[in-house]
Amino acid sequence: MKRKLSNISWLVRFCIRTSPRLLFFNIFACVEQSLFVFFEYTIWIGYNLNAAENGTPFSQVALLTLGVFALFVVHQFIDSIYFEWSFERIKPSLTFRLRRQIYEKACQVDLSCYDDVTFYNDFVLSTTQTDECIERFMNDGKDFLFELVNVITYFSYLLAVDRIGLLLAAACSAVNYFSGQRYARLEKEARLCKTPVERERAYQHRVFYLHDYAKELRLHPGMRSQLSEDFDHCNQKLNTINRKYGPKLWLYGFLKGYLPIYFMLYAIYLPYLLYRAMVTHALSLSAMVILLAAVRRMIKRTGALVGRLPRFAYIGSFIEKIRRFLDYEPRLISGTDDIHDEWKHLTLSHVSFSYPDSNFAGRINAREVLRDISLEITQGQKIALVGYNGAGKTTLVKLLMRFYDPDSGVILRNGTDIRSLKLDAYRKEIGAVFQDYRIYAATLRENVVMDICTGERGETYAVEQALHRAKFNLAAQKLKYQVDTPLTTEFEKDGVDLSGGESQKVAIARTLYHSHELIIMDEPSSALDPASEYQLNQELKELARDKTVIFISHRLAAAKDADCIYMMKDGRIVERGTHGQLLDLGGEYCKMWNLQAQAYQSC
């Protein structure tokens, strides 16, 4: 309860910080509206009934009616300014700010969080439910304030005029509250059960409409059937959840609705009022009508007020997830030391690593992916990491980039533990092209610069040079707007979809555009044609004169000119040396080389 209140107060503070006007508008509009409702339904109608019953002159009533009409106009004017103009404008700004915070956090959380299913579910929930959460909170908050002022007004009125009516209203509200609470709890349970299934369904949905999967789905009908089956399975799961929670939600929805109101009002309170009016003559008929209407409103408004409390609890539980996500403190903490010296060498000393415990790829227990790795990379060297699939090459690179920290052992930059260095400064020295690089729905220039672009001539020249060195033939591409051509056709009619090889060249150009000390290329030529691969290798050789390059490749022909080749197997470095030395050794590398050579010869 305490935590829920703190969550709501967190959201209130967030809203006020984003828009201080909000609080003022809300209080003013709600007080004005509630007082007007009280005036209209109780004072004004009461006056008219009383006037009719006691024969008040018509001219007097008519004059007052004109005055009240003028009040209606002012009230309507204030309402429209508040709702149409202010309230609806504030809502998107809140959503926008919260989303910005979530996105910023998403870039800070440890990469390992993406492997943690619970964290990932919370993350997805935070990003997808932000709009709904703000929308609900704003609407419910406004309504809550309105109801609260309403209840206070009617409470004071009934306290002064009829305490029995007040008591009945309180009893009715209690029933409303408890069934409302149960309803909200069930609704939350159902949502939590549905989230992972809906996430799975969203994935299947994505696979069926995204361009990336279109070709493969046509080629592999079996996969299509499997996905369709999974989709059906998800729908079945959702149906089961709906069947489980549907009837209970209906029951508590019914109980928190009108039933208690009608019972209290017409089975208990009305007979009591009739008795006072007809038997004891303690009430006039107009007073009886007004009291009945006032208690009815009191019951309904209190019901609406307490009925909103569980909704706040519901919102609070989502805020809990958003806060947990925003409060997440990355385990991988940046060091504090600035980097002033020139990059000279990187040393890995007895590094071992296993991915944090997760059920990634069905594995429940973490296993060591890198074992006792020691190596040194010196300035200007060209290093090749080779080995079979799953040997740990990419993981090694992730450790070098400090996306993860080793479980044991140490990585040193010029002899300093990289954990003590400022993370941004350390990573800035390294340029990497990963196997799963991405092309963004932005211009070719932006995809290369990967920063806010100035569009200046110098920048254009540098982008063209980087593309040229990555063997991206700008002239042959005949791009309508040259480097300012939008990539992907997702948003732009003039957009261009690049081939796999061309996209990879753009990703390579990214690293060449910036002057990194160390360049890491994970399978840089996997999507390139032989001519481009040859040219790229020549370019890498050029680069290696003054830069340090680590590249991972399955094609040993591409690795053969490296200064040092590291052969990896089962998370270990099993052989190291130049191409010639490794062939002489006759071990794993030699076996792999011969296998690949045979494949070429047999063609």
Interface positions with ligand ATP (CB under 6 A): 115, 355, 360-361, 369, 387, 389-395
Helix 20-38 with 58-80: angle, nearest 10 deg: 160
Question: Using an 8 Å Cβ cutoff, are 302 and 173 in contact?
Answer: yes
C-beta separation of 150 from 225 below 8 A = no
- Cβ proximity to ligand ATP, 310 vs 387, nearer residue: 387
What's the rounded Cα separation, in Å, for the pair 306 and 176?
7
What is the identity of the amino acid at 363? R
**Is the Cβ–Cβ distance between 393 and 419 less than 8 Å?**
no
| 3-class secondary structure, 182 | helix
| CB 37 to ligand ATP: min, Å | 58
Cα dihedral across residues 171, 173, 176, 180: positive or negative: negative
Least gap, CB of 360 to ligand ATP (angstroms): 4
Measured distance CA(235)–CA(197) in Å, rounded: 8
Pairing of strands 518-522, 548-552: parallel
Token representation of residue 292: 């009945």
Q: Which is nearer to ligand ATP, 197 or 557 (CB)?
A: 557
Which of 234, 565 has the CB closer to ligand ATP? Answer: 565
**Closer residue to ligand ATP (CB): 362 or 415:** 362
CB atoms within 10 A of CB 166: 19
Shortest Cβ 17–ligand ATP spacing (Å): 37
Kindly give, in sequence order, each residue whose CB lies less than 8 Å from that of residue 570, ignoring residues fewer than 6 positions away: 371, 391, 392
Nearer to ligand ATP by C-beta: 357 or 451? 357
Q: How far apart are the C-alpha atoms of 72 and 67, rounded to whole Å?
A: 9
User: What minimum distance in Å lies between the beta carbon of 566 and ligand ATP?
Assistant: 11
Nearest distance from C-beta of residue 257 to ligand ATP, angstroms = 49
Angle at Cα 593 formed by Cα 587 and Cα 594, nearest 5°?
A: 90
Strand-strand pairing, 518-522 and 430-433: parallel
Q: Smallest gap, in angstroms, from Cβ of residue 330 to ligand ATP?
A: 16
Q: In the bound complex, what is the minimum distance in angstroms from residue 390's beta carbon to ligand ATP? A: 4
Shortest CB 496 distance to ligand ATP, Å: 28
Distances (CA, A) of 345 to 422, 531, 564, 572: 17, 32, 14, 21
Cβ neighbour number for residue 534 with a 10 Å cutoff: 15
User: Residue 387 in 3-state DSSP?
Assistant: strand
- Provide the minimum distance between the beta carbon of 520 and ligand ATP in the complex, in angstroms, as a whole number: 12
Residue closer to ligand ATP, measured from CB, 395 or 485: 395
Amino acid, single-letter form, for residue 158: L
* Beta-strand relationship, 345-354 and 408-413: antiparallel
The C-alpha torsion from 287 through 288 and 290 to 294, rounded to 10°, is: 130
Q: Which of 8, 27, 128 is nearest to 87 (CA)?
A: 27
Radius of gyration of the chain (CA): 35
For ligand ATP, the closer of residues 153 and 503 by Cβ is 503
* CB-nearer residue toward ligand ATP: 280 or 389: 389
Q: Which is nearer to ligand ATP, 390 or 455 (CB)?
A: 390
> At closest approach, how far in Å is the CB of 395 from ligand ATP?
3
Nearer to ligand ATP, 20 or 390 (CB): 390
Report strand pairing: 572-577 vs 564-569.
antiparallel
CB of 421 to ligand ATP, least distance (A): 24
d(CA 539, CA 544): 9
User: Residue 11 or residue 573: which is nearer to ligand ATP going by CB?
Assistant: 573
Query: Using CB atoms within 10 A of its CB, is residue 280 exposed (0-12), middle (13-18) or buried (19+)?
Result: exposed
Complex with ligand ATP: residue 260 or 387, whichever CB lies closer: 387
**Min. distance of Cβ 111 from ligand ATP in angstroms?**
7
Give 475 or 599: the residue with its C-beta nearer to ligand ATP: 599
What number of residues does the chain have? Answer: 603
CB of 434 to ligand ATP, least distance (A): 10
Distance of closest approach, residue 361 Cβ to ligand ATP, in angstroms? 6
Question: In what helix (H) or strand (E) does residue 185 lie, and over which residues does it extend?
Answer: helix 163-209
**How many whole angstroms separate alpha carbon 513 and alpha carbon 516?**
9
Helices of type H across 349-456: 393-400, 423-428, 444-449
Comparison of 25 and 355: residue with beta carbon closer to ligand ATP:
355
CA 21/CA 90 separation, integer angstroms: 9
User: Using CA of residue 159, residue 163, residue 165, residue 166, what is the dihedral sign?
Assistant: positive
> Shortest approach of ligand ATP to residue 225 CB, angstroms?
26
If the CB atoms of residues 387 and 431 are measured against ligand ATP, the closer one turns out to be 387
